[in-house]
Amino acid sequence: MIIVGGGVVGTALLYLLSNYSKARVLLLEKYETNAKLNSNSKNNGQTLHFGDIETTYTLEKAKRTKAASEMLLVYTSKLPTAQRNTILSKTPQMVLAVGSEEVEFLRKKYDPKYRALFPGMRMINKKEIGRLEPNLLKGRDRAEALIAAYSAAGYGIDFGRLSDSFVKKAQGAKVSFNDGVISVKQTTDGYSLKTTKSSYCARFVVFSAGAQSLKFAKQLGYGLSLSVIPILGSFYYSRAVVKSKIYTVQGGSIPFLGAHADPDINSKDRTRFGPTITPYPFLEKSKPLTIIDHLNAVGMDLDYMRSITNIMRNKDLSSAFLRNLGYRIPLLGKPSFVKDQVQKIVPSLRNEDVKYDISSGGIRPQIIDKSKRSINVGESTLSGESIIFNITPSPGASSCLRIALDNANEIARSLDIKLDSTRIQEDFKAAAHA
């Protein structure tokens, strides 16, 4: 079988299939190495999401996210300590509520059911916030209402290095880099793929290629009722001003997490701020030609136009998109980002203290369901005849092993091969996360 895309999801599947089944697997990646795009630590929020700091999640979604991330904790707990430390970094985390409206919202959100799911999470007041993170209070209006939900059991994570470890542990599997898939066709006993290097046949194919997965799905007549809005997430940075991951309350009906402040997993001296949520025409940052892939994945028709119109009727979302587009305006954009997003968290930081990280930025392939004319929040997996298409916006990386396991079960059923579920259950026995 063939996996297309060497991000953290494709490589997690490579790892599972090659360790727990006898499937003969080949992974095709268009770049010279794995995890160059969204799974690269420069391009995502570096957070292992459990569902506790995400104020946009329902309790059900939080439970699913927690279970998926616990699989990753179990996986990394079995790596040699030195290697584990290059992937995971234990980092406290909090959701900061600023102003009486957010404070009220956060108090309601963390009801007894939430607290039962996350026993390590606790509400902290201004005084304790100041003790844990003094820079959150410095320069702030003393009268401003402020509380936070805090947990010491958070993690910064390098999904790129995690993906490297999956590839290394994929016994007997083959990986072909610089081998981009151009087209896919169904044959009598599977699929044939034409690539930039060669052509291949497989009995089963999994596309884990971000928004490109939807483009290929459409080539084969799947996912016709789906479309995509690429959302650019850029990051800014300052000197190190926080020790914890500081998330904010996402207001209104915006389906994305708000910008956060995080100790940079790649540099102890830096705090990152972001990501932005900017609609973007390309599927890869600064790759104008990927506008063609974008158009192929969109499936431009009347339903798409109606969906976009309907999505833009959500005033919270349309004004967030407009504000974020404004952040891209030369000279004016950065001061607005600093005022809106950075100073909400660290009030004393000035425009000159913050820099735009030009080398960073990922694209969330946000799926639109044209039949419902709305955004589909979370990851999407389309299944066809001996083929799967994974499209994983944020926080898909945290769920990579769960997505891979679902894929592996479907592949085993379809190809009638044995997936060693007993050993998987044994190996991934949940590590209780607080």
Ligand X SMILES: Cc1cc2nc3c(=O)[nH]c(=O)nc-3n(C[C@H](O)[C@H](O)[C@H](O)COP(=O)(O)OP(=O)(O)OC[C@H]3O[C@@H](n4cnc5c(N)ncnc54)[C@H](O)[C@@H]3O)c2cc1C
Cβ proximity to ligand X: between 340 and 357 the closer is 357
Cβ proximity to ligand X: between 147 and 262 the closer is 262
Separation between Cα atoms, residue 239 and residue 337, nearest integer Å: 17
Give the footprint of ligand X on this chain (CB under 6 A): 4-10, 28-31, 35-39, 43-47, 49, 159, 180-181, 208-210, 212, 233, 275, 362-364, 390, 392-398
Cβ proximity to ligand X: between 6 and 299 the closer is 6
How far apart are CB 177 and ligand X at their closest, in Å? 9
How far apart are CB 29 and ligand X at their closest, in Å? 5
Q: Are strands 260-263 and 374-376 parallel, antiparallel or unpaired?
A: unpaired
Cβ proximity to ligand X: between 51 and 393 the closer is 393
Q: Which residues have a Cβ under 8 Å from the Cβ of 334 and sit 6 or more positions away?
A: 236, 327, 351, 354, 356
How far apart are CB 213 and ligand X at their closest, in Å? 8
- Name the closest residue to ligand X (Cβ): 7
How far apart are CB 238 and ligand X at their closest, in Å? 18
How far apart are CB 142 and ligand X at their closest, in Å? 32
Cβ proximity to ligand X: between 212 and 238 the closer is 212
How far apart are CB 405 and ligand X at their closest, in Å? 15
How far apart are CB 119 and ligand X at their closest, in Å? 22
- Which has the closest alpha carbon to 158: 349, 356, 378, 400? 400
CB 166 within 8 A of CB 14: yes
Cβ proximity to ligand X: between 175 and 412 the closer is 175
Cβ proximity to ligand X: between 182 and 312 the closer is 182
Cβ proximity to ligand X: between 140 and 163 the closer is 163
Cβ proximity to ligand X: between 118 and 235 the closer is 235
How far apart are CB 426 and ligand X at their closest, in Å? 25
How far apart are CB 25 and ligand X at their closest, in Å? 15
